[in-house]
Amino acid sequence: MKYKVTLNGKTYEVEVVEDKAMLLAEYEAIAPQASPEVKAVAEAPAPSAPQNVKEASPASEASSDAVKAPIGGAVLSTIQEGSTVKSGDVVVIIEAMKMENEIVAPKAGTVTKIYVSKGSTVETGAPLFDIK
């Protein structure tokens, strides 16, 4: 089956051939040669550090039995210092790779210290909280 197709003001004769489950198009035309247009692009300014983002407290302030981050990411939420928790209660939520990771209390007790705050970023192994 033959068709005439006009594209950008130029008319092409196109033949469509049926072959098994595919349709193939054949046409006789010479595509116009065009050289790419190169434009100068201004260099993007270097990104500045995000404002109002508090980094986690240094590990030197953490106790030796502090619960540490199993994964790095952004802290979405924490509970309050002084909160009483049961084993398995969510204490901190860290977002990493668009997933929310719940960090739970390994034992029952009182959260005596929170080393991170909402909006801060943590690295793997950074102290998150203490429970006594």
User: Does residue 106 surpass a pLDDT of 70?
Assistant: yes
Q: What is the mean pLDDT of the chain?
A: 80
Spatial distance between the Cα atoms of 66 and 114, rounded to a whole number of angstroms: 9
| For residues 106-118, average pLDDT | 93
Q: What is the mean pLDDT of residues 74-78?
A: 94
Q: Is the pLDDT of residue 97 over 70?
A: yes
Going from the N-terminus, what domains does the chain have, and what CATH number goes with each?
Answer: 1-30 (no CATH), 59-131 (2.40.50.100)
pLDDT at residue 26 above 70?
A: no
pLDDT, average across residues 7-13: 86
The pLDDT value recorded for residue 13 is 86
**pLDDT at residue 38, rounded to an integer:** 67
- CA 42/CA 125 separation, integer angstroms: 40
Q: What's the DSSP call for residue 83? A: -
CB of 68 closer than 8 Å to CB of 58: no
Q: Enumerate long-range contacts of 100-107, CB under 8 Å, 24 or more apart.
A: 100/76, 101/70, 101/71, 101/73, 103/67, 103/69, 103/70, 103/128, 105/67, 105/131, 106/67, 106/131, 107/131
- The answer to pTM > 0.75 is no
Least confident range of 29-33, 84-88, 101-105, 111-115: 29-33
* Residue 56 confidence class, pLDDT cut points 50, 70, 90: very low
pLDDT for residue 48:
66
